[in-house]
């Protein structure tokens, strides 16, 4: 009998639609199986440009398949059901916007009546789906309901003007990631229920919202109200809730109008544990962060609240939380209530020691409208000056290390770090320890003008930064390389700062660099070959890599990868010949390395 792949390849001789081709593949697979041959079905890509083709592709898709939706308007008269379809961790099922289209696909459900069964998209009993780049508009209920489904990703989608919550997770849905999505202008006719996002009712644990925004939703930005389930965990990272409790027109809606409603229940006894990191609540009609009779545990790390009308913090003493942790968090204005059975509240703008005074002058902007700026092309949040500390702000370096990224000698207070960029002529600053017996610091400059000197500062895991080295600048054109070897390190993690001092007295600091010493050989980073032609390989030993970035010498980000493999191989064949900077972040260190592409 012919090899299965040769039979599959023969299908290309016929003018078959992708759906029919996939059906034929399944028939061939069945025939081969009955003949004792174990075939391997190849993934299918379904190009879609109309509603009928979309529904057919969804019905036919299996693990590994990709449904690519052209840009344009898709008019639906009924709910779009995705049911009982599972990918795998290795091969998900993708429903994605065509990246080559000039416009995004908009799924228009305006023909639906307002009714509890009229969601736009229903994802039910499904796992390992990626839904990306879709705009969901005017559904008769939720824009998207994720029901009894787990390990899915919804990325770079929008949900607007729906008659209930834009995106809702319930019925046991767990471990889903909602990434870089927006939900706005959602409102129901009863002026009661439409939130931006919700992880609520009988939802499962482990759902994460990351890089999402909710604004001008009739009710809350996020709602965690529970029924029929208890002691669940939901995570929020870099999420912004602003101007909720208002209609599209800007008028007050009559809904609750909280930014982040962490929980609550009819019996005021259920626990919805919520973790907020780098989240912002601003301009909401009622409370910024609200416990709403939630009896669980809530944590706020490096969050910010401003101009929420009723209160910025709404953690009351009636039916209080079991535990409330707040650290490195900014409130501009009156703080509000921070009650709980157990509290761990420190290093915030209102209770820092020594005390600090915060005003509008500390920030690049206090204009809430900046939070609604367009996203970047990759879907990530826009860069804004809103509540970002300016140079000289008392908030800089006044926090405590809670495990989040920071750039100075300590974390800043608030959702954003003051990030002093490298001076225009400072190309890189790297640490290395080839023999584990010293730390070598190397930095590159280009076309120095009026640069006076460089200073190196070091601190250990505890203690403050101390000056350990000074060198005069060369003030020459072209690329200059400086280095210093520190033999006086201590085992453990050492932190280094490079200070550039210009002749006119201008001072610029790099972000903190860290390196961990006193380790065995298996915990060293290796980069090879260097110079490189087609690839570079990074051996991380026992480190777990978090992020790898490549920059050109002008500081432009060229690529970003994430991997947890011990040996990571990066294709650099397309890079022009020249010098590049490789920035590596692991769980123990952040370092920069130079490599040459031949």
Q: Give per-residue pLDDT as tens, 485-510.
A: 887 776 677 888 888 888 878 777 77
Average pLDDT, the chain: 86
Residue ranges of the domains in the chain? Answer: 213-242+250-419, 420-514, 519-598
* Burial class of residue 20 in the structure, from the number of CB atoms within 10 Å of its CB (0-12 exposed, 13-18 middle, 19+ buried): middle
What whole-number distance in Å separates Cα of residue 264 and Cα of residue 485? 57
| Averaged pLDDT, 13-38 | 52
CATH superfamily of 420-514: Immunoglobulins (2.60.40.10)
φ, ψ (nearest 5 deg) of residue 523? -110, 20
pLDDT at res. 540: 59
CB of 576 closer than 8 Å to CB of 597? yes
Percent of the chain clearing pLDDT 90 (strictly above): 59
What local confidence, expressed as pLDDT, does residue 8 receive?
A: 44
Q: CA neighbours within 13 Å on the CB side: how many for 209?
A: 33
Among 150-159, 315-324, 386-395, 415-424, the minimum mean pLDDT is found in: 415-424
Pick the CATH number of 519-598 from 2.60.40.1930, 1.10.357.10, 3.40.50.300, 1.10.1060.10: 2.60.40.1930
Q: Pick the closest to residue 504 from 423, 420, 596, 591 (CA basis).
A: 423
Choice among 17-26, 101-110, 202-211 with the minimum mean pLDDT: 17-26
pLDDT given at position 12:
45
Q: Are 120 and 79 in contact (CB under 8 A)?
A: yes
- Residue 288: strand, helix, or coil: strand
3-state secondary structure of 191: coil
pLDDT at 588: 58
Q: Crossing angle, helix 18-34 and helix 51-60, to 10 degrees?
A: 20
Residue whose token pair is 């707040």: 326
Note the pLDDT tens digit of each residue in 535-545: 887 765 555 55
Give per-residue pLDDT as tens, 316-327.
999 999 999 999
Q: Is 73 exposed, middle or buried (0-12, 13-18, 19+ CB in 10 A)?
A: exposed
Q: What is the pLDDT of residue 50?
A: 97
pLDDT at 504: 79
Closest to 194 measured CA to CA, from 219, 170, 158: 219
Residues above pLDDT 70, as percent of the chain: 85
Residue 566 burial class via C-beta count within 10 angstroms: exposed 0-12, middle 13-18, buried 19 and up:
middle
Rounded CA-CA distance 257/115 in Å is 23
Is 20's pLDDT higher than 70? no
Confidence band of 521 (pLDDT split at 50, 70, 90): very low
pLDDT(40) > 60? no
pLDDT digits (tens, 9 = 90+) for 339-349: 999 999 999 99
Sign of CA dihedral 86, 88, 89, 92: negative
Q: Give the up-direction half-sphere exposure of residue 16: CA atoms within 13 A in the CB hemisphere.
A: 16
Q: Sort strands 479-486 and 466-472 into parallel, antiparallel or unpaired.
A: unpaired
3-state secondary structure 325-394: EEECCEEECCCEEECCCEEEEECCCCCCCCCCCCCHHHECECCHHHHHCCCCCCCCCCCCCECCECCCCC
237 neighbors 262 (Cβ within 8 angstroms): no
DSSP state for residue 452 in the 8-state scheme = E
Beta-carbon contacts of residue 50 (< 8 Å; ≥ 6 apart): 74
Task: Determine the pLDDT at residue 466.
Answer: 86
Q: What are the tokens at 565? A: 């493999």
Query: Are 189 and 218 within 8 A, CB to CB?
Result: no
User: Which residues participate in catalysis according to the annotation?
Assistant: 261
> Please, are residues 194 and 164 in contact by the beta-carbon 8 Å criterion?
yes
184/221 Cα distance (integer angstroms):
9
In sequence order, the β-bridge partners of residue 306 are 282, 332
Q: Name the fold adopted by 213-242+250-419.
A: Pectate Lyase C-like (2.160.20)
Q: Do the domains at 420-514 and 519-598 have one common CATH topology?
A: yes
- For residue 203, the model assigns a pLDDT of 98
Segment 56-109, tens digit of pLDDT: 999 999 999 999 999 999 999 999 999 999 999 999 999 999 999 999 999 999
């Amino acid at each position: 009998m012919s090899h299965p792949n040769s039979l599959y390849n023969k299908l290309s001789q016929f003018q078959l639609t992708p759906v029919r081709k996939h059906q034929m593949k399944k028939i061939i697979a069945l025939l081969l199986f009955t003949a004792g041959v174990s075939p391997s079905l190849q993934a299918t890509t379904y190009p879609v440009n109309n509603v009928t083709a979309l529904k057919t592709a969804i019905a036919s898709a299996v693990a590994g398949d990709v449904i690519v939706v052209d840009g344009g308007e898709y008019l639906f008269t009924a709910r779009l059901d995705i049911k009982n379809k599972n990918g795998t961790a290795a091969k998900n099922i993708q429903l994605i916007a065509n990246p080559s289209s000039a416009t995004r696909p908009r799924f228009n459900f305006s023909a639906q009546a307002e009714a509890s069964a009229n969601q736009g998209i229903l994802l039910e009993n499904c796992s390992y789906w990626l839904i990306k780049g879709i705009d969901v508009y005017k559904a008769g209920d939720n824009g998207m309901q994720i029901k009894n489904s787990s390990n899915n990703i919804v990325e770079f989608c929008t949900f607007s003007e729906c008659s209930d919550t834009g995106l809702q997770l319930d019925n046991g849905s767990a471990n889903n990631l909602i990434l870089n999505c927006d939900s706005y202008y959602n409102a129901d006719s009863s002026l009661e229920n439409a939130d931006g996002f919700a992880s609520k009712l009988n939802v499962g644990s482990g759902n994460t919202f990351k890089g999402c925004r909710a604004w001008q939703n009739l009710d809350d930005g996020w709602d965690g109200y529970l029924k029929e389930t208890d002691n669940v965990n939901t995570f929020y990272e870099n999420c912004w809730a602003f101007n909720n409790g208002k209609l599209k027109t800007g008028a007050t809606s009559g809904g609750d109008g909280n930014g982040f409603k962490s929980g609550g229940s009819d019996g005021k006894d259920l626990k919805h544990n919520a973790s907020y990191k780098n989240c912002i609540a601003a301009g909401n009609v009622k409370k910024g962060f609200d416990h709403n009779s939630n009896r669980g545990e809530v944590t706020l790390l490096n969050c910010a609240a401003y101009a929420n009308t009723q209160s910025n913090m709404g953690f009351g003493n009636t039916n209080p939380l079991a535990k409330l942790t707040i650290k490195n968090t900014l409130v501009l204005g009156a703080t509000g209530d921070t009650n709980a059975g157990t509290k761990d509240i420190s290093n915030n703008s209102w209770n820092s020691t020594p005390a600090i005074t915060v005003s509008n002058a500390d920030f690049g902007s206090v204009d809430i409208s900046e939070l609604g700026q367009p996203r970047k092309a990759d879907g990530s949040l826009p860069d804004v000056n809103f509540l970002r500390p300016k140079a000289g702000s008392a908030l800089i370096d006044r926090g405590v290390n809670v495990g989040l990224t920071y750039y100075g000698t300590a974390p800043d207070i608030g959702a954003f770090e003051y990030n002093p960029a490298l001076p225009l002529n400072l190309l890189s600053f790297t640490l290395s320890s080839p023999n584990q017996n010293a730390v070598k610091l190397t930095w590159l400059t280009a076309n120095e003008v009026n640069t006076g000197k460089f200073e190196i500062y070091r601190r250990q895991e505890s203690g403050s930064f101390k000056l350990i080295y000074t060198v005069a600048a060369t003030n020459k054109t072209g690329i200059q390389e400086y280095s210093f070897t520190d033999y006086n390190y201590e085992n453990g993690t050492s932190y280094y700062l490079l200070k550039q001092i210009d002749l006119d007295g201008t001072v610029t600091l790099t972000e903190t660099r860290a390196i961990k010493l006193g380790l065995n050989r298996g915990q060293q980073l290796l980069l090879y070959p260097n110079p490189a032609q087609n690839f570079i390989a990074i051996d991380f030993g026992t480190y777990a890599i978090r992020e790898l970035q490549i920059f050109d010498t002008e500081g432009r980000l060229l690529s970003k990868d994430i991997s947890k493999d011990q040996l990571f191989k990066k294709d650099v064949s397309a890079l022009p010949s020249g010098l590049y900077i490789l920035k590596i972040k692991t769980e123990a260190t952040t370092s920069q390395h130079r490599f040459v592409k031949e």
